[in-house]
A and B are shown apart, each in its own frame.
Chain A
Amino acid sequence: MCDRYIRRPSSLLWERSSLRKKMLDVMRLTVVAAFCWFVIPTTRVLADNTATCVARMSSYVIELDELFSFSTWIEAFDKLNSRYFPFMDCDTDPLLVETTKSRFFRGITYYPRSRRYVVGFASKVIEVGFTYRADQRRSENHNVAQAGQ
């Protein structure tokens, strides 16, 4: 009669192993969640266009240097800029290093509040510049002007 209510040792063992299995499942889920939380955002941040950006900036700097050496015509610089800008999804340092290779590179000024880098190039006649926003990972405000204006 009471036999129905007495748990057999095999049943207890089964329950315990089921509980253990559940705990392992929870733990596995936690590890997967932790992995997603820590690894996936990192790879998303690192996913970028830097190699292309650097190649384009290198090409831009070569053309800019050529233009500086024979032209004082502002429209020619504007045209060159509109062909290359904007630069997007680039790591800041590799991009900026590339700009320093120009013969006409004048310097980089940093604005820490807005995290903007302003890059300047200049000959005696023409000044060219652009801004790179580290927070938005994109360039903005490229400009050309007569030197001293």
Chain B
Amino acid sequence: MSENNIEKEIISIISDVSGFEEEEITPDTNLASELEIDSIKAIEITVAIEKKFKISIRDEDVPNITTVKQAVELVNTLLNQDPNVKS
């Protein structure tokens, strides 16, 4: 999946969870301060991303997802990882 498509999917997930329209969400939008993402919504987003891309995000990486861009980078890294070393 191209980075562009990953970004689209992630924006769609964040739009679903936050209630904000996709057009209002850019790669640099801050999830907590601009989209009112609290702890339970951060979990919703994480679980939805894991399900969509069939990956598993490590607990210590969850706090690092503060913008769309960071989420895309993380998903990219996990998708391109050697499957043998996937956590």
Whether A and B are associated in the same complex: the answer reads no
Q: Residues of A at under 8 Å CB distance from B?
A: none
